[in-house]
Structure 1
């Protein structure tokens, strides 16, 4: 009785497949950014419209462009972080593919959540929840990938660079925990105090406060880690 054997792809093929995974991710980031701007159009200006009416006509356009700019910054930042992760990869597996697709799902959702953000003047909390959920999902995806490749499957990363890997993993972990905690705080305050606008508005500051706290926490950890590395090199 003959047995079929599944052969592992040659190293060249694995490298080509890993490159395809990265190129596919780059394409998704690029398309998401493109879709942000594609719906923004100049308003119709009737003939003989006085110049004094221009600010009112262009106000919706300015709001749309501001929302586009904010989302562009977020997507660009997430792409840069994804690039930092990819520079440590030398191989891939099914687990990495699934986690990468999880991140890309939330990247693709940015045009939708950005369009929802433009409805904040009519329905304030729901569009904000959708947008914050989108950001939290992206941070969760980055953290999930970093945990998988640095902590659970370090064999698929290039050897060495232990300090850089650890600091990058800690950054993604703190960013995700800050955003997830802040988002939970906002949701709890809103549902516990649905009529108290002051409490609701104060809860929004929980996200930047937690981000700032974890920024200094990460700096302290980075300084301590580098101090241990230098001490080990000198000994």
Structure 2
């Protein structure tokens, strides 16, 4: 079967690359007037730790999204309109990551940290729902999938993405009472997805 999704994947790769690039714009070099030189520059850099934390979290989250997107499209060979729009939703949400990242870097060490983390985790709830929607559309029509994929393989991918919905929802709820714990929960889920991404390389029958 000829693969019809090459252009979709190439376009998606470009969008993911742009989304990651946007994150670095939130890292700012302290002005000389603010530091006065010497050790004060180091103090200013240390004070910016929420920005570095937010950048690292968002970079690896988008990277893991890209890895999983690449893996899932190894199983999708054909396209239809709903599939293309579901993929577009994932890309839209990926480009939105830079904004809650900026909120996180600016407000994580303030009394409004719970609001910033809630917005951040809410976005990833939406991203997880979008990935589930993409696979649901693809798996509803076997004609869209790689011919060799098995029913068990389809269910395995579905289960892998379904785990994220309750975990990210729990992180969103937790963000209002324990923002740091909510972020750790998100990191734990990303580590899980990074670990299980190899399971999406399904073997032929």
Q: TM-score, normalised by structure 2?
A: 0.79
- Structural mapping, 1:119-138, within 5 Å: 119-122=107-110, 123-138=112-127
Count of residue pairs brought into register by the alignment: 189
CA distances 1:120-152 after superposition (whole Å, capped 9, x unpaired) = 2231121111100111111111111112212x1
| Distance of 1:72 and 1:56 partners within structure 2 | 24
The runs of 5 or more residues in structure 1 that have no matched partner are: 1-10, 191-199, 223-232
| Distance of 2:87 and 2:68 partners within structure 1 | 13
Q: Please tell me whether residue 103 in structure 1 is matched to residue 90 in structure 2.
A: yes
Q: 1:207 deviation in Å?
A: 7.8
3-state SS, counterpart of residue 89 of structure 1 = coil
Q: 1:169 deviation in Å?
A: 1.5
Aligned to 1:143: 132
Q: Please tell me whether residue 179 in structure 1 is matched to residue 156 in structure 2.
A: no
Aligned to 2:202: none
Which is higher, the Rg of structure 1 or of structure 2? 1
Equivalent pair of 2:30/2:41 in contact (CA under 8 Å):
no
Aligned to 1:155: 143
Q: Please tell me whether residue 56 in structure 1 is matched to residue 33 in structure 2.
A: no
Q: 1:39 deviation in Å?
A: 3.6
Aligned to 1:112: 99
What is the alpha-carbon root mean square deviation over aligned residues?
A: 3.1
Which residue among 131, 151, 165 is the counterpart of 2:154? Answer: 165
| Distance of 2:38 and 2:158 partners within structure 1 | 53
Equivalent pair of 2:50/2:108 in contact (CA under 8 Å):
no
Q: Please tell me whether residue 87 in structure 1 is matched to residue 66 in structure 2.
A: no
The runs of 5 or more residues in structure 2 that have no matched partner are: 200-204
| Distance of 2:38 and 2:83 partners within structure 1 | 56
Q: 1:54 deviation in Å?
A: 2.8
Aligned to 1:29: 16
CA distances 1:153-187 after superposition (whole Å, capped 9, x unpaired) = 2210111222333212110011223212442x337
Report 1 or 2 for greater relative contact order, CA contacts < 8 Å, sequence distance ≥ 6. 2
3-state SS, counterpart of residue 105 of structure 1 = helix
3-state SS, counterpart of residue 178 of structure 2 = helix
Equivalent pair of 2:26/2:102 in contact (CA under 8 Å):
no
